[in-house]
């Protein structure tokens, strides 16, 4: 072989070796397979026992909901249409709090107790009233407490007129906010809850409403724990008997009229766990309180809530092709929570569904799969897996080499 030809061959071999070495250096390193596993929690022998049936409840519809997850732990006729009675005022409170936080009304606004509000919901009617004087004003905050604590129908109407100009306009706001919260089977035509064929809700919707009130407006929600409120010479007690029976109960609202029966939406927090109960169509004030507390006690005894994965924390890493980085960290955008029977945490089985091939570019927050957690073969919690970091597209030569590797792997 001529010296010149040999030199060219040697140079070609050296370049090929260098290119191969560079490409191999850019090949994505193997990453661990995603194996999310909640840490096992020690459980007492008694915690492994089956959960007994929920207490028998007197009423037309009822449920118990975990606040953190929105999961219904037990219930009956949860989506059956019911008359919400004065539990309606929780929706009224939500609207007022939302409008206040939007700067449209203020706590010290002078709210007029109009003649319409007084005649429709005052002392001369068959319902509960606050006692504010007709054609006189009172601060919005005082009027709201008169509605929440005393369940004053007159206060509810006066507040509706102040916020929206008329009770009909306010009802439109109620339905708009109800849709935003996610109430799917409710319609409100007034601010107080007196009977109307087009005024209805469900036990599930009312629990979701209570959950939203606690979550979105905790300061305004706290008014529900006030045991009594005085307007002029009249002091009235909160009708929620559970406020005197259990210190963990901090709300929410009672309701009653002939069409609705006796109703109670209650909420209690013990430790880090909060539960909400709804009992509709009960037979007496005492019965609704007894049943509600029995439900809450049952739920706290036999169920627990776990935070399986924190938002923004990596659960796994997955190989990325054609990117400036070779792996992407995967996690959840919001905490993944689960409500479950006590003592069964260690039996949860997590799995991940992720495409076999991930190709850059990948945007931060981009959904790339799903994490599921099962118990006894049933999915009890799931959430999208998202990229915790962006991975930009690599340069031409790395992309070309990865294209070759992907092709080679598919052959």
Residue spans per domain, the chain: 29-42+308-410, 61-282
Task: Provide the pLDDT confidence category of residue 58 given band limits of 50, 70 and 90.
Answer: very high
162 is written with which tokens? Answer: 């102040």
Poorest-pLDDT segment among 3-12, 74-83, 91-100? 3-12
Residues whose CB falls within 8 Å of the CB of residue 56, separated by 6 or more in sequence, listed in order = none
Strands in 147-248 per DSSP E? 228-231, 234-237
| Domain 29-42+308-410 class, CATH top level | mainly beta
The conformational region for residue 193 under phi > 0 = left, psi -120 to 50 = alpha, else beta, is left
Residues whose CB falls within 8 Å of the CB of residue 103, separated by 6 or more in sequence, listed in order = none
- 124-141 residue pLDDT tens: 777 788 989 999 999 999
Q: What is the residue-averaged pLDDT of the chain?
A: 88
Look at residue 127 in the predicted model and tell me its pLDDT. Answer: 79
The conformational region for residue 282 under phi > 0 = left, psi -120 to 50 = alpha, else beta, is beta
Q: Cα separation of 148 and 97, whole Å? A: 12
- Cβ–Cβ under 8 Å, residues 163 and 91: no
Fold type of domain 61-282:
Beta-lactamase (3.40.710)
Q: Is the pLDDT of residue 160 over 80?
A: yes
Counting other chains too, the contacts that 29-32 makes at CB distance below 8 Å and 24 or more residues apart are 29/319, 29/326, 29/327, 30/319, 31/317, 31/318, 31/319, 31/326, 31/327, 32/316, 32/317
Q: Residue 93 catalytic?
A: no
Q: Residue 151 catalytic?
A: yes
Catalytic residue chosen out of the listed positions 93, 120, 130, 151: 151
Q: Residue 16 catalytic?
A: no
Entry pTM: 0.84
State which H helix or E strand residue 82 sits in.
none
Most confident of 56-65, 121-130, 309-318: 56-65
């Amino acid at each position: 072989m001529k010296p010149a030809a040999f030199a060219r061959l040697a140079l070609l071999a050296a370049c090929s070796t260098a290119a191969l070495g560079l490409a191999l250096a850019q090949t994505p390193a193997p990453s661990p397979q995603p194996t999310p596993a909640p840490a096992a929690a020690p459980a007492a022998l008694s915690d492994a026992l089956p959960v007994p049936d929920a207490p028998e409840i007197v009423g037309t519809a009822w449920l118990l909901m975990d606040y953190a997850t929105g999961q219904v732990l037990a219930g009956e006729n949860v989506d059956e249409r019911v008359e919400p009675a004065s539990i309606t005022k929780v929706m009224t409170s939500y609207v007022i709090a939302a409008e206040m936080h939007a700067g449209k009304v203020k706590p010290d606004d002078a709210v007029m107790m109009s003649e319409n509000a007084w005649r429709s919901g005052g002392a001369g009617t068959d319902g509960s009233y606050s006692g504010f004087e007709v054609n006189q004003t009172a601060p919005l905050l005082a009027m709201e407490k008169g509605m929440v604590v005393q369940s004053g129908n007159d206060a509810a109407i006066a507040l509706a007129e102040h916020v929206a100009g008329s009770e009909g306009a306010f009802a439109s706001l109620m339905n708009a906010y109800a849709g935003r919260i996610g109430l799917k089977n409710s319609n409100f035509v007034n601010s107080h809850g007196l009977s109307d064929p087009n005024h209805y809700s469900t036990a599930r919707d009312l629990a979701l409403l209570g959950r939203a009130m606690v979550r979105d407006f905790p300061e305004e929600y706290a008014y529900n724990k006030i045991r009594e409120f005085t307007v002029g010479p009249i002091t009235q007690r909160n009708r929620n008997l559970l406020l005197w029976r259990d210190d963990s109960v901090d709300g929410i609202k009672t309701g009653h009229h002939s069409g609705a029966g006796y109703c109670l939406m209650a909420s209690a927090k013990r430790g880090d766990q909060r539960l909400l109960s709804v009992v509709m169509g009960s037979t007496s004030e005492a019965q609704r309180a007894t049943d509600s507390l029995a439900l809450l006690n049952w739920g706290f005894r036999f169920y627990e809530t776990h935070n399986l994965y924190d938002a923004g924390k990596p659960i796994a890493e997955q190989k990325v092709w054609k990117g400036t980085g070779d792996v992407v960290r995967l996690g959840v955008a919001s905490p993944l929570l689960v409500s479950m029977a006590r003592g069964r945490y260690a039996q949860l089985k997590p799995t991940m569904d992720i495409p076999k091939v991930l190709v850059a570019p990948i945007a931060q927050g981009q959904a790339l799969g799903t994490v599921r957690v099962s118990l006894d073969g049933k999915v009890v919690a799931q959430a999208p897996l998202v990229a915790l970091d962006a991975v930009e597209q690599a340069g031409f030569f790395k992309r070309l080499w990865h294209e070759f590797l992907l092709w080679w792997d598919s052959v």
